[in-house]
Structure 1
Amino acid sequence: MQFIGIHCGAIPDTLLESELFGHERGAFTGAVRRKLGKFELANRGTIFLDEIGTITPSAQIKLLQVLQDRTFQRVGGETVIETDVRIIAASNQDLGQMVEKGLFRNDLYYRLNVFPIEIPPLRERREDIPQLTEIFLRQMNRFNHRGIHYVHPQVMEAFQRYPWPGNIRELENLVERACILETSSILTQTSFPAELFTKAPSALSAPTGRTGLTLAEARARAVAEVEKSYLQELLARTGGRINRTAESAGVTVRQISKLMRKNNIRKETFR
């Protein structure tokens, strides 16, 4: 089954209908041959329409026809084409408010709004920040061949305080920028913008996800996080050498190995 994604906001308004529904030869200047649209290519599959709120009124009418009748016509064509496709749409705008302002058709909105899933902004799910940072860091290492394996605890603390107006894309861009500038194996403060560390904690900051725990549970989780961060930082500094890590930590090699197994840390990651 086909899965076809299209970023509606990245395509000029004059070309969007052609991209979605295709066009016939001679339909407009430059249309030298017939082109199949995304809906035709995705037949019996899934089409993902990102930034659906940016599409033109005429494209909204055609999309409504697809949803209601499962049919469409290519631009410049007269043949009615049937399609069987599942539509997933996404928007970073409030489509309900756009409907109220007359910017989005309400009949199309209710056709699309069958099973809505609202993803909270990053500032409202700060517990995801460490995992997302780790994912982005792995991506940077894979594509740019950098030997950076860890984020300094002070940087992670700043991440937890920052309001993230640019959401997840801002976090990804900051990690990528830091990877370019960083000269060590740890992402440190010097590789990030200064305002990230001068931002005062807000009284309205979202909870960190620990308020549902007992004090003992919260304390145990905090200790585990500090323990893992400390171990990762030491391993990054020693290049994954267990003996030197144990010596720096003031414990035995056996204890370090046990902690690594407990936290699912591999020494090869830091070499």
Structure 2
Amino acid sequence: MRKMLVITRDGNRSEEIGSLLFQDTKIHTETATESGEQPPDREVDTVFVDVESLLESNKSINKALESFWTHYPSAAIVVMADEEQTGFAVDAVNAGAFDYLTHPIEKEELGLVVKKVRESDVLQSELDYLRDQFWNEDFLDYVDTNSKAMRAVFVKIRQVAGTRTTVLLTGETGTGKSLIAKLLHAHSNRKEKPFISIHCGAIPDTLVESELFGHEKGAFTGAVRRKLGKFELAQGGTIFLDEIGTVSQSVQVKLLNVIQERRIQRVGGEHDIPVDVRIIAATNEDMGKLCEDGKFRRDLFYRLNVFPIRIPSLRERREDIPRLSEYFIRQFNGQLNTELKGMHPHVLDTLLEYDWPGNVRELENVIERACILETGEILHPESFPPDLLDTQGEVVTSPVKTDLPLKMARQITVDKFEKQYLTSLLEQCNGIMKDAAQRAGVTTRQLNKLMNRHSLYRADFKNKN
């Protein structure tokens, strides 16, 4: 059973809110004067607190929230406010509170917040489990994802990492297949042994066999000494065959034999050499079509495709773009000796809309370029490529998304206009909510909800003029 605490200045209001909550929930209500008289219940998972109780003794919002988290470390803080106090409530959310509600509180709206808290708790539990029980510390930033599609990938990795099963990684160029291969190796029982990577498409056909299997002295012109191949170098560990779809038919035959017999033979050699190597292959091509066209052996494809993992494109995991951007900024701060703190809201808005044909690799390159060019504390539109952003931070070209249903495409356009309208309005009003709401013809409560929907924060627009 979940535990919730309601703290208000008015005891009647506390009881009223408690009555709106669900019956499968243990609810305790307090007035602000009662709060602190009894030892806090550290198992409380949600605290509903009104603005007056939060800011008692003239505490700052940050200090007030810290005080609550000291008493209720696992609790989600939901701030309740009258309409004229919504500014304080929004500031509390920006400081780390889970959400806010405005009076009069409706049961349906309260139910949605409680549902969001529960969903957040489940996700956080999953992430905590993954961090504490499985993932190597070096990869924690990478596996901390907001994308459902990527979480599914990490579940598969957990399932297969400890086995010797051959894995085939598929996905567009730049999605991070090589990093996934390293992730698999780092969490396998072979992690103390070598991880050897070879980009099959970057090696001339005449040299692929020698690179993979090695050669004997005199095997061909220029073979002046014996050379060990990648399979021998990876003995006991993992070999990563990137762009596997590019290898020739003769190499395919030898790879099939390696997988079946666990033996190799150097070019020009006469003896079989046993190898204990886990194979991870990757491709950005349609392997089924290559087999149909006779360019790739079907029997080898079946051997490689024992445990397929498809890596989603960045378009399919847009919710990770803010987190990835922050990660790359921190990374390049260290490399370039800069102290960038983030990016302009217009920039992030455009990054979220862009289709990223080069995926995560393209995002990383774009952020690196911007970090080099930026002279301020945050990344501005001027630091990004002109084909991505103009100097006002808007998309230079906005093609009609005919691959989407009309209703969805229309909503994307409406959302974009709505955000641009609110941004310009708030800049003109210096973030003064009352003035902005009046000019927009909405209530401050409606304006706050619109701002939350588009991740706009009042503090970003103060003293703009």
- TM-score, scaled relative to structure 1: 0.74
Q: Determine helix, strand or coil for the equivalent of 1:93.
A: coil
Moved runs in structure 1, 4+ residues, more than 3 A?
201-207, 219-227
What does residue 268 of structure 1 align with? none
Q: State whether structure 2 residue 392 is matched by structure 1 residue 200.
A: no
* Cα pair distance change 1:105/1:222, threshold 3 Å: farther
Q: Is the Cα contact below 8 Å between 1:161 and 1:200 reproduced in 2?
A: no
Q: Determine helix, strand or coil for the equivalent of 1:29.
A: coil
Tell me the CA shift for residue 113 of structure 1: 0.3
* Cα pair distance change 1:224/1:192, threshold 3 Å: closer
Tell me the CA shift for residue 53 of structure 1: 1.2
Q: State whether structure 2 residue 249 is matched by structure 1 residue 53.
A: no
Tell me the CA shift for residue 222 of structure 1: 4.4
Q: How far apart, CA to CA, are the structure 1 residues paired with 2:206 and 2:271?
A: 21
What does residue 15 of structure 1 align with? 207
Q: How far apart, CA to CA, are the structure 2 residues paired with 1:111 and 1:221?
A: 52
List gaps (5 residues or longer) in structure 1: 208-218, 235-246, 250-271
Partner letter of residue 248 of structure 2? T
Aligned pairs (5 A) from 1:90-109: 90-109=282-301
Q: How far apart, CA to CA, are the structure 2 residues paired with 1:77 and 1:222?
A: 68
What does residue 39 of structure 1 align with? 231
Partner letter of residue 168 of structure 1? V
* Cα pair distance change 1:24/1:221, threshold 3 Å: farther
Q: Determine helix, strand or coil for the equivalent of 1:116.
A: strand
Partner letter of residue 153 of structure 1? P
Q: Is the Cα contact below 8 Å between 1:161 and 1:199 reproduced in 2?
A: no
**Larger strand proportion of the pair:** 2
Q: Determine helix, strand or coil for the equivalent of 1:142.
A: helix
Q: Determine helix, strand or coil for the equivalent of 2:211.
A: helix
Please point out which of 337, 340, 343 is paired with 1:145: 337
List gaps (5 residues or longer) in structure 2: 1-192, 389-394, 409-448
Q: Determine helix, strand or coil for the equivalent of 1:124.
A: helix
* Cα pair distance change 1:110/1:9, threshold 3 Å: same
* Cα pair distance change 1:182/1:67, threshold 3 Å: same
Q: How far apart, CA to CA, are the structure 2 residues paired with 1:113 and 1:151?
A: 41
Q: Determine helix, strand or coil for the equivalent of 1:195.
A: coil
What does residue 128 of structure 1 align with? 320
Q: How far apart, CA to CA, are the structure 1 residues paired with 2:232 and 2:206?
A: 19
- TM-score, scaled relative to structure 2: 0.44
Q: State whether structure 2 residue 311 is matched by structure 1 residue 113.
A: no
Q: Is the Cα contact below 8 Å between 1:45 and 1:86 reproduced in 2?
A: yes
Please point out which of 160, 168, 190 is paired with 2:352: 160
What does residue 189 of structure 1 align with? 381
Q: State whether structure 2 residue 177 is matched by structure 1 residue 177.
A: no
Tell me the CA shift for residue 202 of structure 1: 4.7
Tell me the CA shift for residue 199 of structure 1: 3.0
**What do residues 234-262 of structure 1 show as CA deviations (whole Å, max 9, x unaligned)?**
9xxxxxxxxxxxx979xxxxxxxxxxxxx
* Cα pair distance change 1:190/1:62, threshold 3 Å: same
Larger RCO (CA under 8 A, 6+ residues apart)? 1
Partner letter of residue 200 of structure 2? C
Q: How far apart, CA to CA, are the structure 1 residues paired with 2:366 and 2:292?
A: 36
Which moved further from structure 2: 78-87 or 94-103? 94-103
Aligned pairs (5 A) from 1:239-258: none
Q: How far apart, CA to CA, are the structure 2 residues paired with 1:26 and 1:226?
A: 69
Q: How far apart, CA to CA, are the structure 1 residues paired with 2:450 and 2:206?
A: 58
Tell me the CA shift for residue 59 of structure 1: 1.3
**What do residues 154-210 of structure 1 show as CA deviations (whole Å, max 9, x unaligned)?**
111101111111222211111111122211121110111233222316544799xxx
* Cα pair distance change 1:15/1:115, threshold 3 Å: same
Tell me the CA shift for residue 52 of structure 1: 1.0
Partner letter of residue 121 of structure 1? S
What does residue 3 of structure 1 align with? 195
Tell me the CA shift for residue 224 of structure 1: 10
Q: Determine helix, strand or coil for the equivalent of 1:31.
A: coil
**What do residues 24-55 of structure 1 show as CA deviations (whole Å, max 9, x unaligned)?**
11112221111111111112211111111121
The structure that has the greater radius of gyration is 2
Partner letter of residue 329 of structure 2? L
